[in-house]
Amino acid sequence: MREMTMIQAIHEAMKMALESDDRVMVLGEDVGKNGGVFRATEGLQAHFGPDRVVDTPLAESAIVGAAVGLAVAGMRPIAEIQFLGFIYEAMDQIAGQAARIRFRSGGQYSAPIVIRAPFGGGVRTPELHSDSLEALFLHTPGLKVVMPSNPRDAKGLLLAAVRDPDPVLYLEPLKLYRAFRGEVPEQWYEVPIGRAQVVIPGQDVTVIAWGPTVPVAVRAARSAQEAWGHSCEVIDLRTIAPMDTETLVASVEKTGRVVVVHEAVRSGGVGAEVAARLAESAFLSLAAPMVRVTGYDTPYPPPAIEDAWLPSVDRVVEAIHRVAAF
C-alpha cells in the first residue's frame, strides 16, 4: 500500500496501463510535453514517447473521433477532455459513434475507449469548467460512466475501464484531485464497473451520492448522528451506468428512507433515475418521500456565489432530519 492523492492514483493507473499493453495510448490537449492541465499525465510522454502519448489540437471532436478509429483498429486509447463542460463538441463521436459501434456492427466491432474528463464545482473555475453533465451520458446506451470519489477507487476504476471492451466515460472530480490522501495498492487491481459501495453502514436513512458529493454525504451523516442520533447508510454509487440498483434496493429495504445528493442540476439528473428505480423496486419499503439535494436549475454560477449553489453539509443534514422525522 502507498498513500497518494486522487491525481497521483490516476497518473499511476495510466502509467501501469501503458506499461502492460502496447495497444494503450493517451491523447489529448497538452497531455504530452506539459503533462496535462492538472499534471495527470506528467512525464508519460518522456517515458513512452510521442507516438503513445500524443498532444492533439484543441478539438474535442477530433480527439474522440481519432480515439474511435484507433479503437476499432485494435488500439485501446485513453482520450482526455480537459474539462467535462467542453465535451459537447464531441457528443456525436461519443453518443453517435463510440457507444453504438457494437450494436451497429452486430458485435463485429467494439470501441474500447476510455474518455477522461475532470469536472465539478468548488474550485473557482470559469463558465463551462465545473458543469456536472453525467446525466446526458446515462441516457446513452452502450456507454459506461464511472466516477471515483477517492484515490483507491480512482486507480481501480481506471484500470478496469482500460480493460473494458466497450467505451467508458471516466469522470474525475476536480475538487478531490488533491483534497486528501488514501491508501492505494501498488499492484494492478480493478474496481468492478457497475458495483456501488456502502461507505458507512446504517439503519435509519440511506444517503446516496457519487463523485464530489460523497465526502459531503459522509460528513452530513456523521453530523446527523451526533445531532439527532440518526443512523445513516452512505452509498457511493461509483458507476452511473450501469447502475447498481440491487445495492440501493437492499439498503432502502432496511432503512425505508432515502436522500440523494448530486452537484448536477435537479431536473432530469441522475438522482431522478435513482428515485425512479427505487420507486419501482422498493416502493413498499419506503416510510417517507425520497428527497434530493442537488444543484439548482440554472447554468453553473460564477465563483463568487458557487458555494450557495452547491449541495452543502447543512443542506444534506436538514434533508436527513426531515425524512427521518417523517
Residue type, position 161, single letter: A
Query: How do 182-184 and 2-4 pair as beta strands?
Result: antiparallel
Residue pointed to by grid coordinates 441516457: 139
Q: Cα–Cα distance between 126 and 237 in angstroms, integer?
A: 28
Q: Cα–Cα distance between 153 and 10 in angstroms, integer?
A: 10
- Residues 6 or more apart whose CB falls under 8 angstroms from that of 22 comprise none
Residue pointed to by grid coordinates 484543441: 58
| Grid coordinates of 163 | 480493460
Of residues 11, 129, 230, 262, which has the active-site annotation? 129
Report yes or no: 61 and 89 within 8 Å, Cβ to Cβ: yes
Tell me how crowded residue 30 is: count the other CB atoms within 10 A of its CB. Answer: 15
Report yes or no: 41 and 53 within 8 Å, Cβ to Cβ: yes
129 is catalytic: yes
**For 316-320, which contacts have Cβ atoms below 8 Å and span 24 or more sequence positions?**
316/207, 316/216, 316/217, 316/220, 316/259, 316/261, 317/220, 317/223, 317/224, 317/227, 319/259, 319/291, 319/293, 320/205, 320/207, 320/220, 320/221, 320/224, 320/230, 320/232, 320/259
Roughly how many angstroms between the first and final C-alpha of the chain, as a whole number? 44
Active site residues: 129
